[in-house]
Amino acid sequence: MKRLMLCVSVAATLAAAAATAGPIADSVAQTKVPLTTCMDLVAEQIGAAIGHVEFESRKGDPTYEFTVNAKGATYYVGCSGNTGLISAVDLIVNSDDPRWAAAAKITEEEAKGAATARYAGSVEEVKRLLLQSGQAVYEVDIEIPDGNGEFNVYVNAADGAIVQVNLEYWEIPESVPGDLD
């Protein structure tokens, strides 16, 4: 039932996106793998509750990004909308995580400054990530001024360099309750 609620919410989001001309509708149309396929893959391989879903472009690859809680930790799990393969598993951490403290040399404010210097808009949220590669980054989410999504700007926590930018088209809020099995 909970998975059905998420799928209905996604369907409504996609219907609204399809009614909008431009990059949102174009990105959804280019997806070869349905959301439910990626949800099943993530549940099978990670074995945890999915609490949030985003749809974004990562270097031109349409990607579903799931927030997953597993074994006392929270992860971002990317699943390619082209191939249906898991493309990344990144750990979301707090500022007091010793791995973060050892790697981070710039402040959150400096990361926000680096991101907004290149991408106009208001900062919606900042998260601390330990990427699958081992790199520590701030993810600075910047609302695009025309209302067509967000820039997810990854700022290296060691030196402030921008290392990745994803274009987020839509998200299903974290308020989707519990396990989606």
Residue where a domain terminates, one of 69, 89, 109: 89
Question: What's residue 105's pLDDT?
Answer: 98
Question: What's residue 2's pLDDT?
Answer: 47
78 and 106 assigned to the same domain: no
| Beta bridge partner(s), residue 125 | 141
Rg (CA), the chain: 16
| Beta bridge partner(s), residue 113 | none
For residue 14, give the CATH number of its domain.
3.10.450.40
15 and 69 assigned to the same domain: yes
The 10s digit of each residue's pLDDT in 85-126 is: 998 999 999 999 999 999 999 999 999 999 999 999 999 999
Instruction: Find out whether 7 and 64 touch, Cβ atoms under 8 Å.
Output: no
35 Cβ neighbours under 8 A, 6+ residues apart? 7, 10, 53, 55, 64
Cα 35 to Cα 64: distance, rounded to the nearest angstrom: 7
Is residue 173 one of the residues assigned to a domain?
Answer: no
6 and 66 assigned to the same domain: yes
118 and 80 assigned to the same domain: no
37 and 79 assigned to the same domain: yes
Question: What's residue 145's pLDDT?
Answer: 83
User: What's the structural domain count of the chain?
Assistant: 2
Report yes or no on whether pTM surpasses 0.85: no
Question: What's residue 46's pLDDT?
Answer: 86
Extract long-range pairs of 135-140: CB within 8 Å, 24+ residues apart: 135/103, 135/163, 136/99, 136/100, 136/103, 136/104, 137/163, 137/164, 138/106, 138/108, 138/111, 138/112, 140/111, 140/112, 140/114, 140/115, 140/116
Is residue 178 one of the residues assigned to a domain?
Answer: no
Question: What's residue 19's pLDDT?
Answer: 36
Is residue 181 one of the residues assigned to a domain?
Answer: no
Instruction: Find out whether 66 and 90 touch, Cβ atoms under 8 Å.
Output: no
Question: What's residue 31's pLDDT?
Answer: 86
Q: What one-character-per-residue DSSP string does 84-115 give?
A: --EEEEEEEE-TT-HHHHHH--S-HHHHHHHH
134 and 163 assigned to the same domain: yes
Domain coverage including residue 147: 98-167
Residues in the chain predicted with pLDDT less than 50, given as ranges, are: 1-25, 174-181
